[in-house]
Amino acid sequence: MLKVHNPRSIAAPIGTYSHGIEVAPGARWLCVAGQIGVRPDGSVPATIEEQTEVVWQNILAVLADAGMGIGDVVKITSFLTRHENFPRFAQVRAKFLGSHRPASTLLVISSLARPEFLVEVEAIAAKAPAPRNPARRPSARRVGKAKRRARR
């Protein structure tokens, strides 16, 4: 389980993020490489909204492949090539995050790997191990008694 840290001694987050996220010991970690707005057929949408949609669809696909979901995202780093795209990017991002607020960093940079790429987002996710149900596994003592009974 993830624990959110937004101390009252500092300014509240100004967007869809938290200042800190704590991960339970023993969690599985997943690092999602920077995802760009490239569709499975290799095409790149023209608008920031469409590219951001594809980026988040790609992130969700990687998370699902690892048995995780958006609620397991601990940290995201977003890269935009134009500051004026931020409001539209943020609107799509908020749709995918819902009420989840991972730690987040946003950078406006001069370019990405190709000129048509307007956005890239990388993510880190963590999933706590499933709790063990001791009632399901027989104890060694019970197994020993069952074996002795079977021999009789």
Domain ranges of the chain: 2-151
Give CA torsion, residues 45, 47, 52, 54, to 10 deg.
-20
Please check whether residue 54 is in contact with residue 37, taking contact to mean a CB–CB distance below 8 angstroms.
Answer: yes
Longest dimension (CA), the chain: 81
Q: State the amino acid at position 91 in one-letter form.
A: Q
> What is the pLDDT tens value at each position of the chain, 152 positions in all?
789 999 999 999 998 899 999 998 999 999 999 999 999 999 999 999 999 999 999 999 999 999 999 999 999 999 999 999 999 999 999 999 999 999 999 999 999 999 999 999 999 999 987 777 656 555 556 556 656 666 65
Please check whether residue 77 is in contact with residue 104, taking contact to mean a CB–CB distance below 8 angstroms.
Answer: yes
List all residues 6 or more positions away from 34 whose beta carbon is below 8 Å from its beta carbon. Answer: 77, 79, 120, 121, 122
CATH architecture of 2-151: 2-Layer Sandwich (3.30)
Determine if the pTM surpasses 0.85: no
